[in-house]
Each structure stands twice: as C-alpha cells, then as structure tokens.
Amino acid sequence: MSIVETALALEDVAKEYPGGVAALRGVSVEIATGDQVAVVGPSGSGKTTMLTILGTLERPTRGEVRVAGQDVRSSTDTELAGLRAHRIGFVFQTFHLQDPMTALENVATGMLYTGAGARERREAARGALERVGLGHRLTHRPPQLSGGERQRVAIARALVKRPLIILADEPTGNLDSASGHDIIALLHQLASDGATLVLITHDAEIAASFGRRIQMRDGEIVADERA
Amino acid sequence: MSAAGATLPTRRGLDRARLPPRELVGAALQGLRTRRLRAALSALGIAIGIGAMVAVVGVSSSSQAQLLATIDSLGTNLLTVSPGTTFAGANEVLPDTAVAMIDHMPNVNRDAAVYQVAGASVYRTPYVPAAQTGGIGVDAAGTNLPQVMGAAMSAGHFLDGVGSRYPEAVLGAQAAQVLQITRVGGHVMVYLGNTWFTVVGIMRSAVLDTSLDSTVFISLPVAERIFHITPSPSEIYVRANQNDVTGVSNLLAATADPQNASGVQVSRPSDVLEARAAAKGQFTTLLLGLGAVALLVGAIGIANIMVISVLERRGEIGLRRALGATQRHVSLQFLTESAVLAALGSLAGLLLGAGATLAYSVAQNEPFVVPLYALVAAPAAGLVIGAVAGLYPATKAARLSPTEALRT
C-alpha cells in the first residue's frame, strides 16, 4: 500500500466519549488520493466524528489512522498541527469566518500557520478568491456577503494553501438549494486537480453527484458504493 | 512523504506548523482591535495602578529635587559650631575667644555668632501672662548673620551697627507669625525683658537652621547692657571655602576651644537636610504599596477579561486549531494579547502619572522630575503582569478540544 495512492486510511477505528457514548464502532476505510467521497447517514451516525478523526482534530479511542501517509497515533500535537497547516483544508457548515476581517484577510488566515509571509498569503488569498468567483468581493466583510458567498470565502480559505485533503462537514447545510448546488459544483471543480474531497451531506441529490458514497449508521459503515 | 509531494506537484511539502513572531503579535492585536472598549476598560485598572505609583514617585522626587536645589542655592559649605554636653549631661560653654580664633582660620570665608539670652521672653504687650512665651527665644547676634545664613528679610532690615545701641529687635519668620507681626516701622514694638523694643525687621525662614525662625534677635551691646549676658557664643555659623569644607570642619572644634575640643560640637546642616530629604523619599513606600494593590486589582481584571474572551472565542480557537495552530500557538496568542493589553495600560498609566506629577510640580512651583527608572519599569511591569494574568486563560484556551470549540 503506497502513500501516493492512499490519502486517508482508517483501520478498525472506534471513538468513545466520556460517559460511554460510542460514536464510532470499528470503522475501516481507505480513501485514495484524488477520490471524491460523500458520507451520508442519519444524525448521530458518526459522520462528523469520522471526519474530525480524519482531520486529526481528534484522536480515536482505538484503531489506526493514517493521514497523508502519517500515522496519527504516534504523532505529537505539533506534528498533527503541521499536517493540518499544510495538508488539510476544512469547510464547515457554519463557515467559521471572522466578522471583523475582510474576505481577503479571512482567506489569508488559511495559510497563517504554514509560515508563509504576509505578502505571499495575500497574493495566494487573492488568487483563491478569484478561483471561487469572488474576485470582486475582496474587501467585503462576512456580514456584507450572502450565505453562498460566505461559504465560497470559507472554501477559498480551505484551498488557499492547496491542500492534499479537503474535509467538508455539510457545507450546504445553511444554504438554499440553488447556492448549495453551486457550492458543490465548485468543490467538485476545485478538487478535480488531484485533491481528495470528503464531504458530509444529508442531501441525496448532492450525494449522487459523487463517485463514491459511504453510508453510515450507528457508528458503522453500512454501505460503500462506487458509481 | 516526498513521494506524495512528487506526484502532486502543487502541494506544499510536509512541514511543521509555524507562526512567525510578527504574525503572533498581529493575531494578538487583532483580538484587541475587535474588542476595543472592553480592552480599554480592562487596561484602565493597570493604568490607574501604574499611574498612582508613577505619580507618587514623581511627586516625591520633585519635592526632593526642590529641597536639594534649595540646599544647593544656600550652599553646602555652612558649618555650625555649638557647645556640646559633658558625659555627666551638663552643658559645655564655648570660650569667648572662639569667634576670634575661628576668624583667623584659613579657608574660612566668614562667620557669625549668636548668643543666647537665657531667661528672656518676648511679648506683644506687658499684659500678656509671663508663661505665654510662644516658644520664642531671644538671641543676641552680630550684624552679618543673614549673609552667613543666606537668609533674606521679608520686611525691614537686620540689625545694623547704627542701631546697635538702641533697643531694636528683628523677628525670625516663625516668631513674627506667633507674635502676629507682619510689617515693621512706625510704632511696631515688642515687650522684651521689661523694655520696649522697636521691630526693625522680619526675616524669611532660614532653611539651613530653622531654629533661628523662632528667635528674636537683638544686638550684642544691648543684650550685654540690659541682660548682662556673658559673651560666650551659643552657636557659631561658619562659611568655609567650598573646596575645603571637610578640612575646616575637622579643625573647627580644636580651634574654637583648644583646651577642651571634645566639648565642641560641629555639624554641617546641609548634610542633615539632605538626609532628611532622602528619608522623605522613604515614606513613599507606603503609598507605593497602595499603588501595588491597585495594580494587583488591575491584573485580576485582565485575567478575568481574558477568561471571558477565551469562552467567547471558542469558535475562533477551534478554527485556528483546524487551520494548523498548535496548542502552543494558541496559548502564546492569548498570552501575548494579555501582555500587550497590560503594557498598553501601563504606558497610559505612565502618561497619567507623569501628567499628575507635572500638574503638582507646576502648582507647587517645583522642578518636574520623573525618575528614569520609572520610564523603563512601568512598561516592563505591565508586560510581566499581563503575562502572569494571561497564564491561566491562555492554558485554558490551549487545552480546549478543537472539535468541541468548533461545535459552538
């Protein structure tokens, strides 16, 4: 198994929270570099927990996790932070933009912990905003933007460092269906240059646009279909 | 890793998460900029504490500088010679040749003697009960006492040779106040030992020897005639050559009374005053303590505001962790924010304290002095206080689980 081919790998991963709540009960999955995967399932089925473990924001209670070829269990907090800084881009349902900052500044923070200089970050942020179609909104602040535009800013922030892996947790959850579909189309397009995309959604239509669909229930993977 | 990088040409090579110091300060300032009012209010506590301390130090330094300047202008070359006390506690007596002996010493510029008129008291009228002396003593003095003491007259003139045969009196500043006499001439008189004396002058305070202030001076011939005093000086004031004050000081006792040098007391009033000025500075430690309490309260205020800030900015903390911030980056950000906040507060306090000192020194007509160390110590103290106050909130922020922080 080569790291070149496998961006993300879980092997018998379980996650239990204090109080005995089991969010994941032995999940094994491999996601190849460049794959675009939709994760579907009812609320509480463990989708988000799996995504945060794939994003190294949380460690599993049991099992092996490899992200971009790196063994998460034996890595320090600093090493995982480095992985996130350079390799992983997150897109959240609630955007998590900083209101006092302009769109350009928000996107530039996506590269803050890569060690890139301020000028380089601004240039990259400008480019990323142009790629998501917001080249004319550079100095707007989040409250001045529509929901769809805000999510585009958040996507630009995730993509500005050109990550290997993009993890999106219901990015259309707060959007109307028209802008939701635009966002999904944009993600498909942006990830098509070789990035790995894992996206959680409730929307069957959106899930259908993905080449691979993982279905979860009660902390387990119940179906893994490829189109 | 390198294999992945090679096949994915646009990806950045795997690296550590890094945050250059400039970006760290930028992130900290960003936090303060977006919460200006609250930042200003919490920095106010530190500003007041530092301000109070700087003002206390500044005001006392200014007063001290004023006192030292006064001493300097009066000269530090004045020495006083007075009779000491024996081992048994009895008062010694200076020989009546003492003044003449001192006159002939090298490096003595000028000297003046006063002779205590024992048992004499001064009253406004003969009807004042004898016991109400007002604490005023009577001295006989030569004509050059004000020159030697560097004391000025507030009214009239000092005893002069012309009037030395007549009952004329000059009042020390304090004595004039007690007797409620503010002007001279006309028929302003005091009743002194069954005789009316015309008041010809009132002195200003003699800073170098304030005991002269509560004294009334009459001329030596008059004192001898009316009170039959012995011409043994009770105090001799000597102006030495500035370059040889110590040398003169060492010889004075033996010169004044060659037979009994140990019975002579020599002192340098400016030394005493300088010591007193320094001691005055010591008193301010109490007030500095109060300033420190204000500072402590300010530090608690900052810690409090930072704890609230951490709770409020959970989303931001989670996001930063997702963007690749290490726990250290997060804690450093909050620590820096807290330190910058306190440092800004203490800079404001420095200005506040300096302003208060300036206002005081202008009102008191004193030189404006803020000690140099305060300019360095105030912002440094601010940084340290802020860092300490931010320690707990910063640790709290760093320990926050990123997923939990993002859920809010």
CA atoms within 13 A on the CB side of A208: 4
Per-residue pLDDT of chain A (227 residues; tens, 9 = 90+): 344 578 999 999 999 998 888 999 999 999 999 999 999 999 999 999 999 999 999 999 999 999 998 999 999 999 999 999 999 999 999 999 999 899 999 999 999 999 898 999 999 999 999 999 999 999 999 999 999 999 999 999 999 999 999 999 999 998 999 999 999 999 999 999 889 999 999 999 999 999 999 999 999 999 999 97
CB–CB contact A86 B15 (8 Å): yes
Question: Nearest-CA residue of chain A relative to B323?
Answer: A85
d(CA B339, CA B361): 32
Nearest beta carbon to residue A58 from set B20, B316, B403: B403
A161 CB within 8 Å of a chain B CB: yes
Backbone phi, then psi, for B267, in 5-degree steps?
-140, 165
pTM of the model: 0.72
Contacts with A77 from chain B: Cβ below 8 Å: 326-327
- By C-alpha distance, which of B217, B106, B61 is closest to B153? B217
**CA distances (Å), origin A172, targets A22, A185, B92:** 27, 11, 106
Query: Which tokens belong to B272?
Result: 């005493």
Residues of chain B with pLDDT under 70: 1-14, 163, 279-283, 408
Tell me if chain A has a CB within 8 Å of the CB of B322: yes
CB spacing of B322 vs A90 below 8 angstroms: yes
Report the C-alpha gap between B158 and B148 in whole angstroms. 13
The residue type found at A27 is V
From the CA of B383, how many Å to the nearest CA of chain A? 25
Beta strands in B278-365 (DSSP E): none
* Chain A residues with CB-CB distance to B4 below 8 A: 3-4, 33, 68-69, 164
Task: Tell whether A59 lies on the interface with B, counting CB pairs under 8 A.
Answer: no
Whole-angstrom distance, CA of residue B52 vs CA of residue B295: 9
Give chain B positions within 8 Å (CB) of A162: 10-12
* Optimal mutation site among A87, A111, A170, interface B, most CBs of chain B within 10 A: A87
Put simply, the answer to whether B323 touches A68 (Cβ < 8 Å) is no
Closest CA to A72 of A89, A59, A85: A59
> What is this model's ipTM?
0.94
The span from the CA of B379 to the CA of B358, in Å, is 20
| A69 contacts in chain B (CB < 8 Å) | 1, 4
Contacts of A109 in chain B (CB under 8 A): 320, 323
Shortest CA gap B334–chain A (Å): 16
* Cβ distance of B19 and A115 shorter than 8 Å: yes
Write out the H or E segment, with its range, that includes residue B112. Answer: strand B108-116
- Per residue in A71-103, pLDDT (tens digit) is 999 999 999 999 999 999 999 999 999 998 999
Answer yes or no: do A92 and B406 touch at CB < 8 A.
yes
- Read off the pLDDT of residues B76-133 as tens digits, 9 standing for 90 and up: 888 999 898 877 777 888 888 888 889 889 998 989 999 988 888 899 888 888 888 8
Q: ∠ CA B6-B7-B12 to the nearest 5 degrees? A: 60
Q: Which among B197, B121, B120 has a CA at the least distance from the CA of B159?
A: B197
DSSP readout, B237-270? EEEE-GGGHHHHHHHHHHHH-TT-GGGEEEE-HH
Q: How far apart are CA B379 and CA B350, in angstroms?
A: 8
Residue B37 touches partner A, C-beta closer than 8 Å: no
B46: exposed, middle or buried (Cβ count in 10 Å: 0-12, 13-18, 19+): buried
Question: What is the spatial distance between Cα B375 and Cα B233, in angstroms, rounded to a whole number?
Answer: 51
Residues 122-151 of A with CB under 8 A from B: none
> Distance (Å, rounded) from C-alpha B95 to C-alpha B92?
10
Chain A nearest-CA distance from B294, in A, is 33
Asked if A81 reaches chain B (Cβ–Cβ under 8 Å), the answer is yes
